[in-house]
Amino acid sequence: MKAVAGIADEAVRKALTETLKGADAAVAMLCKSVGVNGSGNDPAGALEAFEKGLAAFAKSVGKSVDKVADDFLETSEGQQLYAAYKAEHPSVRR
């Protein structure tokens, strides 16, 4: 940023500043811990909410999470939680 501040052309300085801010935000997102990795991190977010809902559903029907995932997605709760997850992670496809 110090090097950018020394640029005389205001338009170039402003463009470089915005570019660096965007790069900084992108790196922050890449470095963010996501998912459940057993490290004690609490990732909080739509994925965690979906996983908790799925686990509760599986427990209520007495089956494993793997066996009821499709059934959970057919419930209104499953659809809402998955929609929230997709909104938080737009690259996810089903």
Return mean pLDDT, the chain.
Answer: 80
Task: Determine what percent of the chain is predicted with pLDDT higher than 90.
Answer: 29
What is the maximum alpha-carbon separation in the chain? 68
Q: What is the pTM of this model?
A: 0.50
- Interval 26-47 mean pLDDT: 63
What are 53-67's pLDDT values in tens digits?
999 999 999 999 999
Q: Which residues contact 1 (CB under 8 A, 6 or more apart)?
A: 17, 20
Task: Please provide the distance, in angstroms rounded to a whole number, between the alpha carbons at the two ends of the chain.
Answer: 41
Band of residue 75 on the pLDDT scale cut at 50, 70, 90: very high
Judging by beta carbons within 10 Å of its beta carbon (0-12, 13-18, 19+), is residue 49 exposed, middle or buried?
Answer: middle
Which sign does the torsion angle of CA 43, 46, 49, 50 carry?
negative
List the domain boundaries for the chain. 1-32, 36-94
